[in-house]
């Protein structure tokens, strides 16, 4: 009586190794989540602050844009103004908020003296924060650094 081969194949054995790839993926996601949320948790101290009428939230500094075209004409809020009108409007801005910043956009051919007159009007009004607005050059936009050769006298 023969029933076939006595040594039969046992079939597939269970895998005893753990697949680490999903575990590593989950751990990396958790690390990224902790890196993003850690700076947000630093200011989470709960305080019961005292109440007072004197403490007010400070006004955010506003800005006033003054534009000077190639002819030297001064514009404030896209309206042409004289130097006296500019000084009056800057005085009213300074009285409303002394931290107002003046953003000065002047054409490159405007004489320096004309720019200084506008700066003087702003400073007389009490606005000492003056910013000069300029466009980035093509090399700065592309990240190319240009070097100029040294001139020997």
Residue 79 domain flag: yes
Residue 77 domain flag: yes
Residue 142 domain flag: no
CA dihedral 18→20→21→27, nearest 10 degrees, is 130
Per-residue confidence (pLDDT) for residue 78, from 0 to 100: 85
Where are the alpha helices (H) located in 9-76, listed in sequence order? 20-41
CATH code of 82's domain: 3.30.420.270
Of 38-42, 57-61, 80-84, the range with the highest mean pLDDT is 80-84
Residue 44 domain flag: no
Q: In the chain, how many domains are there?
A: 1
Residue 30 domain flag: no
Q: 97: domain range? A: 63-134
Name which residue leads in pLDDT, 10 or 149: 10
Per-residue confidence (pLDDT) for residue 153, from 0 to 100: 42
Residue 149 domain flag: no
Burial 27-52 (b: 16+ CB within 10 A, else e): eeeeeeeeeeeeeeeeeeeeeeeeee
Write out pLDDT tens, residues 83-116.
Answer: 999 999 999 988 888 888 999 988 888 898 999 9
**CA 124 vs CA 9, 22, 62: distances in Å:** 99, 67, 18
Residue 95 domain flag: yes
What is the reported pTM? 0.51
CA–CA distance, 112 with 120 (Å, rounded to integer)? 12
Residue 74 domain flag: yes
């Amino acid at each position: 009586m023969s029933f076939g081969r006595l040594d039969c194949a046992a079939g597939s054995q269970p895998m005893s190794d753990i697949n680490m790839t999903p575990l590593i993926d989950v751990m990396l996601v958790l690390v990224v989540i902790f890196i993003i949320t850690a700076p947000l948790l630093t200011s989470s101290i709960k305080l019961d602050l005292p109440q007072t009428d004197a403490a007010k939230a400070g006004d955010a500094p506003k800005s006033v844009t003054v534009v000077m075209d190639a002819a030297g004409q001064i514009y404030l809020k896209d309206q042409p103004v004289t130097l006296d009108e500019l000084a009056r409007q800057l005085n009213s801005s300074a009285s409303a908020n002394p931290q107002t910043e003046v953003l000065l956009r002047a054409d490159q051919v405007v004489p320096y003296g004309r720019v200084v007159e506008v700066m003087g009007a702003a400073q007389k009004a009490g606005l000492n924060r003056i910013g000069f607005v300029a466009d980035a050059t093509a090399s700065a936009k592309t990240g190319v650094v240009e070097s100029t050769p040294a001139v020997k006298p």
